[in-house]
Amino acid sequence: MILDHSERTFPPFSLTRLMRTCFGQGQGERLCILIDLPDPTQVKDLAFLQDETQTIQKYGYEVFFQGFKEGALKELNFTGGDFFAYRETGGSNLDMDDDVYDPEGNQLSLDKDIYQNYGIILTVSTFSATAPLTAKAKEFGFRGATLHGLNQVILNTGLAVDYNEVSADAETLRLGLTKADHFEIDFEVEGEKSTLRLICNQQEAQKSHGLCPPGKPDVANLPAGEVYFVPEGAEGSFPFKYSDGTISILQVSDGFIKEAKLLRGDAAQVEAHNEKLRSDPMTGAIGELGLGTQVLPFSGRDIQDEKILGTVHVATGRSDHLGGHLTPDLFKEKANASHDDILYAPHKTPEFKVTEVRMVRGNQTETIIRDYKPAAYLIGLLEKSTSAA
């Protein structure tokens, strides 16, 4: 098995291959593409294409909308291929406003005009819409995919892979990690060591694997490729880097971040975080532990980089889209009901060392990651699976 992405070659991106693999051959379902914009009325006459900041949304139009119109729609046996824009939410996995606009300038409703009338919904956006779309898929019965943060690296690699293989590898690692009692992540930053324990209580591991076959309403997060848990508790501490480079240590007990302590940088940034934790404690809820399963290059976007083998991410906030009980109504403020991944990867958090990640299952303790690289246990699982195939 190739463990170094620089030794791996990728086929050219194919929209029909991606769609057929992830969703199966169409049965006449209507399909549409959603994008988010600061001002969704800018979709009228495609005015947003003149905005140099809307690079992600341009992929939604040029790769997906035009790709479907140029023949992929007919080849896949889908219909429609329509294009809409909604107002960007401003945060990861926040609920979306119901208003949506089409290129003719018409104002429509997501609930009344989109979710009820389309069987496949693809969302190419700045902010992740996986959580709200998953809830809507269960309510209205559609299938879909979220592709937030799309860039050329992702298109050439994470969306060019064979998702049957991605699914098989994710299942292999899921089986090797399922029913763990807990996981421990050891960190080191500026000589200070910390450990976060995530309690799983032998729950069944889940996987994000990119396949969304007919017959079950669901939303895939693409690129896919991770094994994840919704922890039932968490204890300890772990480092956190803010957008301006400020670093704090987050103190965790009873499954919640209780306090951030400044380690380096802007004290006001950390105090603002603490005020948010005090005013709306659910913002500190630990909602996910995720482990990447793919061998891919780093893209600079968490949507792909958290799927890379050797990375680990912890998320705070809502977890209902993952099978958890943390729903938006539990938060005091609607704007706080996000699901925010905290990714630990060598390019994203070079200040931090993830010295070791361990799984504890009964009397079995296995090191699964060491210094951002898969340890012998994970490699052995994948090699054994490859040999058996």
Q: What is the mean pLDDT of residues 255-281?
A: 97
Q: Which residues contact 3 (CB under 8 A, 6 or more apart)?
A: 295, 309, 374, 379
Structure tokens at 106: 């018409």
pLDDT at 14 over 70: yes
The Cα 285–Cα 252 span in angstroms is 9
Residue 309 to residue 296: CA distance in whole angstroms: 8
Q: For the residues 319-337, what does the mean pLDDT come to?
A: 92
Supply the pLDDT for residue 90: 95
Does the residue 292 lie in any domain?
A: yes
Q: Give percent helix, percent strand, percent coil of the chain, each to the nearest 5.
A: 30, 30, 35
296 falls within a domain: yes
Residue 129 belongs to a domain = yes
- Is residue 63 a contact partner of residue 33, using CB atoms and an 8 Å limit? no
- Decide if pLDDT at 3 tops 80: no
What is the average pLDDT across 171-176? 98
- The predicted-structure confidence for 216-265, as pLDDT tens digits, reads as follows 999 999 999 999 999 999 999 999 999 999 999 999 999 999 999 999 99
- Residue 156 in any domain: the answer is no
DSSP 341-370: EEEE-TTT-TT-EEEEEEEEETTEEEEEEE
d(CA 35, CA 352): 34
Q: How many domains does the chain have?
A: 2
d(CA 273, CA 258): 10
| 2 pLDDT higher than 80 | no
Residue 331: how many other CB atoms lie within 10 Å: 19
Q: Final residue of a domain: which of 122, 150, 178?
A: 150
Check residue 308 and give left, alpha or beta (phi > 0: left; psi -120 to 50: alpha): beta
Give the model confidence (pLDDT) of 89-104 as tens digits: 999 999 999 999 999 9
Assess whether 190 and 321 both reside in one domain.
Answer: yes
Of the chain, the percentage scoring pLDDT greater than 90 comes to 94
- Domain boundary pick from 97, 116, 150: 150
Are 299 and 201 members of one domain? yes
- Rounded mean pLDDT of the chain? 96
Express each pLDDT in 40-59 by its tens digit.
999 999 999 999 999 999 99
User: In the predicted model, what is the mean pLDDT of residues 310-337?
Assistant: 93
Residue 1 — pLDDT band, cuts 50, 70, 90? Answer: low
Q: 386 pLDDT band (50/70/90 cuts)?
A: confident
Residues 371 and 328 in one domain: yes
With residue 283 as reference, give the H or E element that holds it. none
Burial class (CB in 10 A: 0-12, 13-18, 19+), 72: buried
Is 111 strand, coil or helix? helix
Clarify whether residues 104 and 253 are in a common domain: no
Sheet of 233-241, strands arranged across: 256-264, 247-253, 233-241, 192-199, 182-189, 353-361, 364-370, 373-374
Q: Is the pLDDT assigned to residue 18 strictly greater than 80?
A: yes
The mean per-residue pLDDT over the stretch 195-200 comes to 98
* φ/ψ (deg, to 5) at 166: -60, -45
Contact 290, 226 (CB under 8 A): yes
Do residue 268 and residue 379 come from a single domain?
Answer: yes
104 lies in some domain: yes
**CA proximity to 121, closest of 134, 102, 108, 109:** 134
Residue 27 pLDDT greater than 80, yes or no: yes
In a domain, 199, yes or no: yes
**Structural domain ending residue among the three candidates 126, 150, 174:** 150
pLDDT score for 385: 79
What integer is the mean pLDDT of 183-189? 97
Does 93 lie in the same domain as 47? yes
In a domain, 179, yes or no: yes
Instruction: Classify strands 30-37 and 79-87 as parallel, antiparallel or unpaired.
Output: parallel
pLDDT grade for 331, boundaries at 50, 70 and 90: very high
* pLDDT at residue 362, as a whole number: 96
Same domain, 368 and 231: yes
Residues 223 and 141 in one domain: no
Checking if the pLDDT of 389 tops 90, the result is: no
**pLDDT score for 6:** 73
Q: How many residues does the chain have?
A: 389
Same domain as 140, residue 171: no
Whether 103 and 203 share a structural domain: no
Cα separation values, 347 from 59, 117, 298, 305, 350, Å: 24, 42, 8, 9, 6
pLDDT tens-digit profile of 105-127?
A: 999 999 999 999 999 999 999 99
Q: What is the pLDDT of residue 255?
A: 97
Arithmetic mean of pLDDT, 359-371: 97
Residue 388 has pLDDT above 80, yes or no: no
Q: Does residue 346 share a domain with residue 321?
A: yes
Instruction: Please indicate, yes or no, whether residues 143 and 195 belong to a single structural domain of this protein.
Output: no
Domain holding 351, by residue range, is: 163-388
Cβ-contact 123, 144 below 8 angstroms: yes
**In this predicted model, which residue has the larger pLDDT, 7 or 220?**
220
Residue 194 lies in a domain: yes
